[in-house]
A = this chain, B = another copy of it.
């Protein structure tokens, strides 16, 4: 891979857009060449338009880049998209039809019958749906590949090794989600100081259905959704980054906490096999301390690309319960897209 591929970021000034910028800085395969903004920000420098809410400041090179108008043509073959849900669908499909490889963090195309919803360690073989998509939609070479919702990703990363080893019949999850998941300005501070909001619009539905697509299979023509019953309750808590989730699972084949921990710790996926640049050494880190994982202490483990599990123990009702935490805008959003792109590049999907 002698030369870096040019990439564009859509929705570049938003919360997830900023993470793309940060994670792409110094990336060995990708070179950020275009930043696309909104009608309002187009024509301004990135520095001027973006209300940078990550640590320090945007990379100098990017600061001076001029934001493109959403309707201007994009030249980069690879496009990372963090447009808001509701706006993304048409843009992404148009770019794919023009031959771009579109990696989307938006919800709009996730549940489509011919669009892979991918976590590289979980269902890398869903990439086979790309051919169907291209055929269905008449795309010469472009495609749209999506990553799941930020709270789904970490749940499913933790479920996958258990699913493979023991099977899962039912899964209940309660989330405590960070505010950066709602973007900026996002959640008002009056809702988050000395408070918890027990509601995030559409989040529970997304977790329940996306999990079934992710753990399901692609049979060459269509996705078979996994046979697992899901129930989610989603809450917003006063945390900057890092979604924490309590999980109860009913296994198909009985197993104790030690066996589950062993399955989690030994889990590796295609990104680890391929040694992809953004792949964590192990996708799942299991903490032994009784009071971990915690957002402030564990969200940056493996540069925010791992899911951190703790408190694996017996559940009097379902058999097993545990806690999982992960960084919601790194592995839960921008980093997820980038890892998808790294894998599909390595697997020859991009020219």
Interface size on A, residues (CB 8 A): 60
Give the docked Cα–Cα distance between A145 and B233 (Å): 35
Copies of this protein, total: 4
Chain B nearest Cβ from A288, distance in angstroms = 10
Contact across chains for B196 and A239 when beta carbons are under 8 A apart:
yes
Chain A contacts with B in 197-213, Cβ cutoff 8 A: 197-199, 208
Residue A53 is within 8 A (CB to CB) of chain B in the complex: yes
Contact across chains for B196 and A295 when beta carbons are under 8 A apart:
yes
Contact across chains for B184 and A179 when beta carbons are under 8 A apart:
no
0/1 interface trace, chain A 165-196, chain B, CB 8 Å (1 if under): 00000101010100110001111111111111
One of A2-10, A101-109, A314-322 at the interface:
A314-322
Give the docked Cα–Cα distance between A199 and B246 (Å): 11
Q: Nearest B residue to A308 by beta-carbon distance?
A: B56
Q: Nearest B residue to A201 by beta-carbon distance?
A: B290
Contacts of A258 in B (CB 8 A): none
**Which of B56, B172, B231, B310 contacts A301, CB < 8 Å?**
B56
Give the docked Cα–Cα distance between A186 and B193 (Å): 13
Contact across chains for B310 and A198 when beta carbons are under 8 A apart:
yes
Contacts of A316 in B (CB 8 A): 208, 229-231
Contact across chains for B298 and A56 when beta carbons are under 8 A apart:
yes
Q: If A233-B174, A248-B172 touch, does A199 touch B291 (CB 8 Å cutoff)?
A: yes
Contacts of A194 in B (CB 8 A): 193-194, 238-240, 295-296
Contact across chains for B230 and A196 when beta carbons are under 8 A apart:
no
Q: Nearest B residue to A176 by beta-carbon distance?
A: B196
Chain A contacts with B in 230-289, Cβ cutoff 8 A: 230-231, 233, 235, 237-240, 244, 246, 248
Residue A294 is within 8 A (CB to CB) of chain B in the complex: yes
Contact across chains for A190 and B198 when beta carbons are under 8 A apart:
no
Give the docked Cα–Cα distance between A291 and B235 (Å): 9
Chain B nearest Cβ from A118, distance in angstroms = 24
Residue A1 is within 8 A (CB to CB) of chain B in the complex: no
0/1 interface trace, chain A 16-51, chain B, CB 8 Å (1 if under): 000000000000000000000000000000000000
List of 6 A-B pairs having minimum Cβ-Cβ separation, nearest first: A185-B188, A174-B174, A189-B192, A195-B296, A199-B291, A194-B194
Known A176-B196, A197-B294, A199-B290; 5 more pairs at CB < 8 Å: A55-B301, A189-B238, A195-B297, A197-B291, A233-B248
28 contacts between A and B (CB under 8 A): A52-B297, A53-B297, A55-B298, A174-B233, A176-B196, A179-B189, A179-B190, A186-B189, A187-B190, A188-B188, A188-B189, A193-B238, A193-B296, A194-B194, A195-B295, A196-B295, A197-B291, A198-B291, A198-B292, A198-B293, A198-B310, A198-B311, A199-B291, A229-B317, A230-B316, A231-B315, A231-B318, A233-B321
